[in-house]
C-alpha cells in the first residue's frame, strides 16, 4: 500500500494519477499557482501594450526580465512539489530510479 507523506504545511505534496495515456498530479497549491500565472498574463499584456505604444526598449526588456523571473518562481514551486511528493513517493515505493532520472532531466532543461 502506498503511503503519502505531507509537506511542511501538512498537505500531501503529490496526488498522482495515471491511466494508459495520461499522467496527472493534483497540485496542492493550485490556487496560488493559478493566481501567479494570472499576474504573469497581465504582465505579458503590459509588455504587448508597451511595444504597441513604442515604449523605450530598455523599459520593455526590464518588464520581460520580470516576467521571466516570475515564471522561474512558478517553475521552482512546481519542481519543489514534484521532488517532495512524486519523487519522494517513488523512492519509497520502488527506489525511484526512473523518477530521479526524470527529475534530473527537467532540472537540466531548466538551467539551460
Secondary structure percentages of the chain, helix, strand, coil, to 5:
65, 10, 25
The answer to whether 18 and 24 are in contact (CB under 8 A) is yes
The span from the CA of 102 to the CA of 76, in Å, is 15
d(CA 91, CA 108): 20
Report pLDDT digits (tens) over 65-98: 999 999 999 999 999 999 999 999 999 999 999 9
CA 40 to CA 98: how far, in whole Å?
32
Cell 537540466 sits on residue: 108
Confidence category of residue 16, pLDDT binned at 50, 70, 90: low
Of the pLDDT bands very low, low, confident and very high (cuts 50, 70, 90), residue 1 is very low
Amino acid at each position: 500500500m502506498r503511503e503519502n507523506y505531507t509537506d511542511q504545511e501538512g498537505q500531501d505534496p503529490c496526488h498522482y494519477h495515471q491511466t494508459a495515456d495520461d499522467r496527472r498530479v493534483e497540485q496542492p497549491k493550485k490556487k496560488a499557482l493559478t493566481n501567479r500565472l494570472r499576474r504573469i498574463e497581465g504582465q505579458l499584456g503590459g509588455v504587448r501594450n508597451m511595444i504597441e505604444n513604442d515604449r523605450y526598449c530598455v523599459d520593455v526588456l526590464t518588464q520581460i526580465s520580470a516576467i521571466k523571473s516570475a515564471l522561474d518562481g512558478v517553475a521552482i514551486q512546481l519542481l519543489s512539489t514534484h521532488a517532495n511528493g512524486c519523487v519522494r513517493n517513488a523512492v519509497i515505493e520502488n527506489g525511484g530510479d526512473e523518477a530521479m532520472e526524470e527529475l534530473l532531466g527537467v532540472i537540466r532543461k531548466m538551467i539551460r
